[in-house]
Chains A and B, each alone.
Chain A
Amino acid sequence: MVFEIGRVCVKIAGRDSNRRCVIVDTVDDKIVLIDGDVRRRKCNVIHLEPLDSVIKIKKGASHSEVAKEFKDLGFNVWETKPRKTAERPKKVRKVKEKPAEEEKPAKKKAEKPKKEEKKEEAEETELEKIAETEEKPKKKTVKKVAKKE
């Protein structure tokens, strides 16, 4: 039997082709369990090319045992790290304070002065913006003069 337990092979087909693997267990005449530089999974014998060397492994050896043998021979080993799922940021809903109905007339009075205040603030911000834009070109000219000197 060529495809015996412990036989080192090279995978021919698939996305992990051209990588070395060991036969860990036989499921069928045609299907075999592999491990090594490849994810631990079943594989058809047609997709394996056996090499000369045979490793001493028990039937159904774990990944760590196979990894030891491979590292002694100097081959790479495929290792999958578990994904770190980042904590999703939890949305905190803004709690609207619902006041009682008695405060409605008081609200209306409060709204009107608020609107006036908002208009004043808007005017102020506009003035500030204009002032800023006036200042900026002045600063630029100062810099240019300094460079020329």
Chain B
Amino acid sequence: MVAGRYKSRTLRRKKVKTPGGRLTTHYLKRKPKKAHCAECGVVLSGVPRERPYIMRNLGKTKKRPERPFGGMLCSKCSRDLIKKQARK
């Protein structure tokens, strides 16, 4: 019987074949979902999705694109914003 703490759906199940030839299930933690644009809601590119203990050790340039509003707005929305500011 599976221990009660492994029945939670916050863990994902992975079938693993051991060196002894047995098929066992491993219970692994899930990753967070991808970042979305604050304006239009599109999935952002250049932003990794990792658990906090990995994200903390990544460098600043590895977590977002090197662009104003990078990691916050998608490229299209940032372009529109800059156009608006320039036309004022």
Contact = CB atoms under 8 A, between A and B. Distances in A.
A49 B85 CA distance: 10
Contact of B86 (A14, A15, A49): A49
Interface of B: 66-68, 75, 78-79, 82-83, 85-87
In terms of DSSP, what is the predominant structure of the interface of chain B? helix
A14 B66 CA distance: 8
22 contacts: A10-B82, A10-B86, A12-B79, A12-B82, A12-B83, A13-B75, A14-B67, A15-B66, A15-B67, A17-B67, A17-B68, A17-B78, A17-B79, A17-B82, A18-B68, A18-B82, A18-B85, A49-B82, A49-B83, A49-B86, A49-B87, A51-B86
Given A17-B79, A17-B82, 6 more contacts: A12-B82, A12-B83, A13-B75, A17-B68, A17-B78, A49-B83
In terms of DSSP, what is the predominant structure of the interface of chain A? loop
Contacts, number: 24
A11 to B, nearest CB: 8
Interface in A1-52: 10, 12-15, 17-18, 49, 51
Contacts of A15: 66-67
Contacts of B66: 15
A14 B67 CA distance: 6
A16 to B, nearest CB: 9
Nearest to B70: A15
A49 B79 CA distance: 10
A18 B78 CA distance: 10
A99 to B, nearest CB: 54
